[in-house]
Structure 1
Amino acid sequence: MATSVRRSGNYPPSLWSYDHIQSLNSKYTGEKHMPKLHTLKEAVRAMIYKDNENVDNPFKILGLVDDLQRLGVAYHFEDEIRKVLKNIFDNYYKSPENWTKMDLNLKSLGFRVLRQHGYHVPQEIFEDIKDNSGNFKGELQKDIIGMLNLYEASYHSLEDEHLLDDARDFTTKYLKQSLENIADQHLSSLWEDLCKAYLIEAKWYNSGYTPTLEEYLENAWVSISVPLMLTHISYLTSTTPTEEIMHSMERIENIIRYSGIILRLADDLGTYSDEMARGDNPKAVQCYMHETGATEEEARMYVTTLILNTCKKLNKERSSVLDSQILKELTDCGANLGRMAQFMYYDEDGHGSRPDVTKSHVLSLLVNPI
């Protein structure tokens, strides 16, 4: 009897070997962790029931259910979720009379979550987001979270639900344009500033020029890329409209500057020896030594003091801009960049010359149990 030869797909070996998979485990399994698990589950159940009692705020309970689903733990609360969603459907989404009272965010989130759980919320719930000409109303574009929720809701459409197909096309175009516009004007300008800062450093290097410490820092707080990083982080993580983010960045210019100086100086203290050995530009320590005739030890002490004084200036600035959530987010992030730098470059280069130390810190912080 002839044997057939099976064709090979020529797939590479799996990166996940059997032994590696078998070695994966969690230290939070076993009977000793069951009381804590039970306590956490009961706390979440209490949150669900509490929000369900507040029938005047369906968005809150829908958001909680959505969060539980995205975290992958909703299966622990199937009965509770089933009850609260039935309550929300009966009180808000079953009758068309309630639809006109909802904003785009509530309509879209409720439509998606309820359809995920088998409730048939008709596409007509979105009829009033179009004008008499059949176009989507312009004011919808002011609500970026609502637009994002509408986009996600459109993927739960059925056959012949053309309104949802139109909504998907509309929101896709809007969200893409929003990203392109940001890359506002604003980000392009910041990338240009960064490249100019690099060019200044290149000119110093090629001419053999050692700047004063003030000249160095005026350029270095930009070349360390803190303004660019903060802006990118804001656009990627914040739900605040682009225009408000841009205005907020202008208001906290000093905070961005001080954060950049702290990061640059902490970096210099940890890396300047190795970088000078490679023939790099003079760093803060060398600039101060060249300008004042100080010894290396004296320059290091001065830069350390300069970091502390800049931290004080940063703290003062932070206390004056806590009148909005976006400003708080930006200032906290800027301060954390400075803290990270002092941690990363404490005594030596934890990024380049001593990655083993950094690896140990990262494992301790994010992987190993506290």
Structure 2
Amino acid sequence: MEYKTEQVQFQPSQADSPQVGDKLHQRRSANYRPNLWKYDFLQSLNNNNDLKEGTKERVERLVEEVKPMLSEAVDSLLKLELIDSMRKLGLSNLFVTEIKEALETVASTNGGVFNVEDRLYASALRFRLLRQRGHVVSQDELRMFKEGRNTLNGSNCEDVEDMIELLEASHLALEGENILDEAKAFSTGIVRERVSGLDGQLLKRAVHALELPMHWRVQWFDIKWQIGLYEQQEDKQSNLLELAKLNFNTVQATHQRDLRDISRWWRDRGLIEHVNFARDRLVESFLCALGLSQGSRFSSLRKSLTKVIILILVIHDIYDLYGSLEELECFTGAITRYDSEQIQQLPDCMKVCFRALRDVTYDIAYDICKDEDWHRVLPHLTKAWEDFCKALLNEAKWDNMGYTPSLEEYLNNAWTSSSGPLILSHACYFTGHMKLDDAADLLQRNKDLIYNVSTIIRLCNDLGTSTAERDRGDAPSSVVCYMREANVSEDVARKHIKVLINQAWKRINARCFGNAETPFLRPFIIVTVNAARVAHMLYQFGDGFGVQDGDIRQQILCIVIKPLAHD
């Protein structure tokens, strides 16, 4: 992707940008391809699975059939495997009480009672499931992997299964848990070494785990893959499989309705016609919002966040591609003071963008409150936009100066410019039944969690886009900052950034697991941590926003567009 430039001479006039200076500025274009997802196609999406006659009743019957399975499983390992299957198939929300009680039973066994041959596999599975649910589990429970590290049989499939489960469990580590660090390095090495000799389901599971661990994936985005894998198991439960398929299609129907609604809003808004240099990525923005929360009751959250994310892309492209430094300072000042008078000296596209931002923020504030108190949330939302734009302006100044900051200086600004704090400042008001003041306090008390999630968003973005951005002459990314600061190669710098991502995940884990059972906090934590998982998905194979026809297109087709076939 190459930049095209267009020279524009700013001159004071009523038609274009008076009083912003007469500096010759080059308008840039990243040659983003036109939007792939057409309006008529999106409006045609109509997975009416939840409306089909008898579907709801069938789901209810299957739920009642499956409920006793956990209490009837007297073997601890079978109980754990059933819980794990429910979670992977997207059914854990249908059996919250049953899973909670089953895990409490497992936890009370003080380490579990397993057959010797299943001991490492079962202990790793137990560790992962219990820690995910907030139970206190010591890393010492996985110390046993050291006992067998010299006796693993390269031709033994059970050994590889043990290593895959150990690899997955190791990603739930906290800072200072050296046993889990060793377990991760050891299991990853074994699985990589033996993957070429595997086939069938075990090969698929090994490749999947090496690409991205479960803990770093958006669970909903993985369900179809997990259903396909479960369907091939000889010991599968047919009622569990049918329930998973029906549930996926029913929830997907809600997501399609949301997408139809938001696509009408985007067409009627007409913003992209005025900012044709920017990315028109409505469906990708919706996918990101969907990644944060999938439940049927969170439609307002998904639609509001889609509006926020699509505006983030447009505004980011204004700062990165379009505006001169003088214009960007003026635009940032208008956002800071919410002053529509100040934008009169800006180009028309920036005026239109400012008005769209103001209108969307007002709409979201009203959607949050739905009464006369809507104005109370407005200052919190506008402050989030102000901080975001100031961070973008700071990066524009560095670029204008030709300045490369240290990695620490870069990250001190980049966690805000990542848009993580902005998105989560909006999301927190939709995630629980709390007072407005409590929601604002929630953000402040969880600033460390938001910081680490936002850092992952930025670092994943940089890993996926830094090479292309450097070739285009963009402002330095974290990769480039570290390359220049430490005088190392790009490969070494990228490895260092991956270490930082791992460290951020450990800090997230400490906050996540420590508060898992706080009722009003848990929904916010889930949404917040999912933001980091969305970033992994979005930039795993490159620039998910910049390139539409790559992996991100397949994700959209799989998750949003195509229902699951079922009998």
TM-score bin (small chain): 0.5 to 0.7
Separation of aligned partners in 2, 1:236 and 1:25: 26
Preserved contact between residue 344 and residue 351 of structure 1 (Cα < 8 Å)? yes
**Aligned residue in 2 for 1:353:** 547
Separation of aligned partners in 1, 2:47 and 2:398: 53
Separation of aligned partners in 1, 2:50 and 2:517: 41
Preserved contact between residue 263 and residue 337 of structure 1 (Cα < 8 Å)? yes
Shift of 1:338: 0.8
2:437 alignment partner AA:
E
Relative distance call for 1:28 and 1:223 in structure 2 (3 A) is closer
2:532 alignment partner AA:
G
Q: Which moved more, 1:202-211 or 1:359-368?
A: 359-368
Shift of 1:222: 0.5
**Aligned residue in 2 for 1:367:** 561
Among candidates 333, 358, 362, match of residue 527 of structure 2: 333
Question: CA deviation digits over 1:278-313, x for unaligned, max 9?
Answer: 322100100000100010111111111211111111
Among candidates 360, 376, 381, match of residue 181 of structure 1: 376
Preserved contact between residue 245 and residue 326 of structure 1 (Cα < 8 Å)? no
**Aligned residue in 2 for 1:257:** 451
1:177 alignment partner AA:
E
Q: Which aligned pairs between 1:280-299 and structure 2 lie closer than 5 A?
A: 280-299=474-493
Preserved contact between residue 348 and residue 354 of structure 1 (Cα < 8 Å)? no
1:313 aligns with 2:545: no
**Aligned residue in 1 for 2:279:** none
Separation of aligned partners in 1, 2:541 and 2:518: 37
Shift of 1:37: 5.9
**Aligned residue in 2 for 1:204:** 398
**Aligned residue in 1 for 2:59:** 40
Relative distance call for 1:363 and 1:324 in structure 2 (3 A) is same
Shift of 1:259: 0.2
**Aligned residue in 2 for 1:163:** none
Preserved contact between residue 198 and residue 223 of structure 1 (Cα < 8 Å)? yes
**Aligned residue in 2 for 1:302:** 496
Relative distance call for 1:325 and 1:289 in structure 2 (3 A) is same
The two structures, once aligned, show a CA RMSD in angstroms of: 3.4
Separation of aligned partners in 1, 2:522 and 2:495: 32
Relative distance call for 1:40 and 1:347 in structure 2 (3 A) is closer
**Aligned residue in 1 for 2:196:** none
Which structure would you say has the larger Rg?
1
Provide the aligned length of Structure 1 versus Structure 2: 225
TM-score of the superposition, structure 2-length normalised? 0.36
Separation of aligned partners in 1, 2:556 and 2:538: 10
Preserved contact between residue 50 and residue 56 of structure 2 (Cα < 8 Å)? no
Shift of 1:43: 6.8
Question: CA deviation digits over 1:152-197, x for unaligned, max 9?
Answer: xxxxxxxxxxxxxxxxxxx99x8443222101x3222222211221
2:505 alignment partner AA:
C
Relative distance call for 1:247 and 1:348 in structure 2 (3 A) is same
1:182 alignment partner AA:
V
Separation of aligned partners in 1, 2:412 and 2:450: 12
Question: CA deviation digits over 1:115-172, x for unaligned, max 9?
Answer: xxxxxxxxxxxxxxxxxxxxxxxxxxxxxxxxxxxxxxxxxxxxxxxxxxxxxxxx99
SS of 2:558's equivalent? helix
Question: CA deviation digits over 1:324-343, x for unaligned, max 9?
Answer: 33322222112111111111
Q: Which aligned pairs between 1:108-187 and structure 2 lie closer than 5 A?
A: 175-183=370-378, 185-187=379-381
Separation of aligned partners in 2, 1:39 and 1:351: 39
**Aligned residue in 1 for 2:427:** 233
Separation of aligned partners in 1, 2:423 and 2:388: 11
2:477 alignment partner AA:
K
SS of 2:452's equivalent? helix
Separation of aligned partners in 2, 1:177 and 1:302: 50
SS of 2:514's equivalent? coil
SS of 1:337's equivalent? helix
Shift of 1:266: 0.3
Shift of 1:218: 0.9
Relative distance call for 1:16 and 1:189 in structure 2 (3 A) is closer
**Structure 2 unaligned regions, length at least 5:** 1-38, 66-253, 255-365
2:464 alignment partner AA:
G
SS of 1:329's equivalent? helix
**Aligned residue in 2 for 1:126:** none
Relative distance call for 1:247 and 1:40 in structure 2 (3 A) is same
Shift of 1:276: 2.2
**Aligned residue in 1 for 2:460:** 266
Relative distance call for 1:335 and 1:41 in structure 2 (3 A) is closer
Relative distance call for 1:355 and 1:220 in structure 2 (3 A) is farther
2:486 alignment partner AA:
T
**Aligned residue in 1 for 2:251:** none
Separation of aligned partners in 1, 2:516 and 2:550: 38
Shift of 1:44: 9.0
Separation of aligned partners in 2, 1:28 and 1:364: 18
**Structure 1 unaligned regions, length at least 5:** 1-14, 47-70, 72-170
**Aligned residue in 1 for 2:418:** 224
SS of 2:480's equivalent? helix
Preserved contact between residue 411 and residue 455 of structure 2 (Cα < 8 Å)? yes
Separation of aligned partners in 1, 2:63 and 2:492: 56
